[in-house]
Chain A
Amino acid sequence: MEKRHVISVLVENKPGVLARVSGMFSGRAYNIHSLSVAPTLSPDVSRMTVVTYGSEAIIEQIIKQLRKLINVIKVQDLTSGDYVDREMALLRVKATAAKRADVLRIVDIFRGKIVDIATDSMIVEITGGAGKIEAMIELLQPLGILELIRTGTVALPRGRKASRPSEPSE
């Protein structure tokens, strides 16, 4: 059965590392649903969050293949424990004077923010789980979404106790 997995990957912050990771996925016909990557507190280390779908066997292979890459420091399947995941989206919404109040009401309910405003449109910023973002998109769509950008999921395990790295392959 295909299940959504959120995999956190600590990698060395070096040229070509992203290509090694994405190349492993494409070369073995695994799918990357979303991917985000940025340096951690240590500038030599980056954290990637990969969201992928697959059977248990496929996910096991993905994790092992990631660990096999020389530049990979640590791989955790966050889905096996308790974790927090968030995504941010920016939406340019059609908002003429007449419709502005409608947009603001929806954005307010979702605790989003207006970050730019023009005569006939606004840019809305929203942060949350994938479900929340999709719900807001659905509500704003009738008003007219002109452009949309999503960051992809970022995630961290909750508290130290609740999270544990997925078991080594043994």
Chain B
Amino acid sequence: MKINGAQILLRALKEEGVDTIFGYPGGAVIDIFDAIARHFSEDFKFVLVRHEQAAVHAADGYARATGKPGVCLVTSGPGGTNTVTGLATAYMDSIPLVVFTGQVPTPLIGNDAFQEADIVGITRPCTKHNYLVNQVDELAHTIKEAFTIAGTGRPGPVLVDLPKDMIQAKTRFEYPSVIDIPTYRPTLKAHPPSVMRAAELIRRAKRPVIYAGGGVLTSGCHQELLTLVQMTGFPVTMTLMGLGCFPGTHPLSLGMLGMHGTYRANMAVNNSDLLLAIGARFDDRVTGKVETFARDSKIIHIDIDPTSIQKNIKVDVPIVSDARDALTQLIEALKKEGRDPESDESLKDWHAQITAWRNQQRLRFDRTTEVIKPQFVVEKLYEITQGEAIISTEVGQNQMWAAQYYLFDKPRTFLTSGGLGTMGYGFPAAIGAQIAFPDKIVIDIAGDGSIQMNIQELATVKQYDLPVKIAILNNGYLGMVRQWQERFYDNVYAHTDIMVAPDFVKLAEAYGALGLRATKTNEVEPLIIKALETPGPVIMDFVVDREEGVYPMVPAGASIKEMILV
């Protein structure tokens, strides 16, 4: 029996185990929406957002929280162009997404037709791969390729552009269960001799640090990482993307490293003699000045993407592999001949040094003020949720305070735009996570600037009755840029004052949600408790100290020695 492209698409999604689609309708995809409503309403939860950008971020939040690829469906032209920021966000953070865009019918392509955009051309540099389907017979196979490429190797977003005549044309549906893409074969197994060299360095190290990134979460090898740490006694620092891959409350956790990392993490990395990088890519926000980064350290770099290795920093032992395979092999090698953390004098000295650094400079803020300190809000959110919430963030100070003061013990509980730094990411990402985990507490830690970038999604949470909580750290500034202006631009606050803003309590009410406001420190705790007891969506508007800064801080491009501690 022949079925049309719209039905082929939806049956293929079923085959892929997709249960949720985020999207927005339009003329070019009207047949697909029609098929969803008529024939597939039982098969998928369709989440109608209020802006296509939010559809992609929500699918991204869903993917980060579950590990499954997120799926979006939007129309041609502006529907597609509105996905670009979401695609770039997911691409930078290696998040698996498959985004379907409508396209004008093939005979009209290139004619500047109504709602036409060359979305394949536009998204080529911000997708892992993309496709324009121009034969209905290739549609099913293309979808299979899209999911294969999105979800394997170093994951990433894949876009499939569907001209309207391909959606309407009919053919037989045959879906391959597995496919081989000859030009795409990621290296999953670590090269054993390289693992042996790494194991030898691990045996000899006196001042080792494990530097763990998002790749540990992608690979799902947090358990292996924990085993390795137990076997070696090595301390672990995490990137922003890696938070949750190793328990933040573990005694050997150094917290985050980099520009706003902890003093002890940055000092440890910079004084290390061995750095074991796992699924991390030596981003400029981590290294600061590359020439002075971990200068005396031997570096082992495990990454599934060969292009990440030797890109920013020269490493001694490169291992191209899935992190799980590399760690499994390492653990085996160290079982045969390892080191004993209990009787290891050099390691004891190293731990003592790290403890000294910790005691010297802890993360801290003034706890005596009546005006609310933003760090206090995050700390209270952590205490009251007992670290069990899924936290998403916007970008800027809110993001850094969340990373510093919420200790993540479990993988896939921290959703943040690390690479692209997309303001407006957190709220839709929280929607995606809440859809995946209806019973979990999901909180978007936001700033008053960022939240306004996708505030329209309040209608979405209302429509699907999602209990997403938004905690706005409201300082009336684009706070991170203001902080740079204070530090490096003589206090000239060029266009970062955003005191003209909506009343967030009334705004919540306008959308049928609950809005709550706290202006004093002693109001914070009761407000959070009330918000969490409320079944539906809540905006918590915390009016915080306007000029509080995020510290410590390593200025962009500076060495760790130039860290500002205040």
A interface residues, Cβ below 8 angstroms from B:
12, 15-16, 19-20, 23, 27, 57, 60-61, 64-65, 67-68, 70-73, 168-170
Contacts and interface: CB of A to CB of B under 8 A. Distances in A.
Contacts of A170: 187, 191, 194, 306, 318-320
B183 A12 contact: yes
Interface residues of B, number: 24
A67 to B, nearest CB: 7
B86 to A, nearest CB: 19
B306 A67 contact: yes
B380 to A, nearest CB: 44
Interface in B282-339: 305-307, 309-311, 318-320
Given A12-B183, A61-B307, A170-B318, 16 more contacts: A15-B132, A16-B121, A16-B124, A19-B121, A20-B124, A23-B125, A61-B311, A64-B306, A68-B305, A68-B307, A70-B129, A70-B184, A169-B310, A169-B318, A169-B320, A170-B191
Contacts of A60: 310
B130 to A, nearest CB: 9
A19 B124 contact: yes
B280 interface: no
Which of A61, A67, A170 has the most chain B CB within a 10 Å cutoff?
A: A170
Given A19-B124, A68-B305, A70-B181, A57 B310 contact: yes
Contacts of B10: none
The 7 nearest A-B residue pairs measured at CB: A169-B306, A64-B307, A70-B129, A64-B306, A27-B125, A170-B191, A70-B184
Given A23-B125, A70-B181, A16 B310 contact: no
A19 B123 CA distance: 12
Given A64-B306, A169-B318, A71 B183 contact: yes
B123 to A, nearest CB: 11
A16 B181 contact: no
B553 interface: no
Interface in B201-254: none
Contacts of A70: 128-129, 149, 181, 183-184
A87 B472 CA distance: 63
Contacts of A64: 306-307
B333 to A, nearest CB: 17
Nearest to A68: B307
A32 B183 CA distance: 23
A27 B129 CA distance: 15
B129 A16 contact: no
Nearest to B319: A170
A128 to B, nearest CB: 34
B527 interface: no
Interface string B441-474: 0000000000000000000000000000000000
A12 B318 CA distance: 30
Interface string B179-200: 0011110010001001000000
B124 A23 contact: yes
Nearest to B181: A70
A15 B149 CA distance: 19
Nearest to A24: B125
Contacts of A72: 183
B120 interface: yes
B338 to A, nearest CB: 24
B196 to A, nearest CB: 13
Contacts of B184: 70
Contacts of B124: 16, 19-20, 23
